[in-house]
């Protein structure tokens, strides 16, 4: 996984990658219980993103998350984790 360093909502993202952010791939994983949207990445290709997908899903299942859906997207998320139940 490629990581960056740009402070955003208390999380870090890798500075050299920010100018290419629209070309990078992210896994957007949504759960319903708790209701959360997690963005994992960035990845340089969809293949590499999919290789990491099962590990993220396994972690969420172990934490008790329900109804997990995964979307592969090419973007730069502004917020990496959104959890309605935390607010």
- Per-residue pLDDT of the chain (87 residues), as tens digits, is 333 333 333 344 555 555 666 689 999 999 999 999 999 999 999 999 999 999 999 999 999 999 999 999 999 899 999 998 655
Q: Where are the domains of the chain?
A: 15-86
pLDDT reported for residue 47:
97
H helix intervals, 1-87: 46-62
H helix intervals, 11-82: 46-62
Q: In what order do the strands lie in the sheet with 25-32?
A: 69-74, 25-32, 35-43, 81-83
């Amino acid at each position: 996984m490629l990581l960056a360093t740009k402070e955003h909502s208390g999380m870090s993202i890798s500075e050299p990658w920010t100018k290419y952010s629209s070309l990078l791939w992210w896994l957007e994983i949504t759960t319903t219980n708790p209701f959360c949207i997690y963005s994992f990445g960035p990845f340089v290709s969809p293949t590499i993103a999919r290789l990491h997908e099962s590990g993220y899903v396994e972690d969420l299942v172990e934490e008790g998350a329900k109804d997990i859906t995964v979307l592969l997207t090419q973007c730069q998320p502004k917020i990496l984790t959104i959890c309605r139940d935390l607010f």
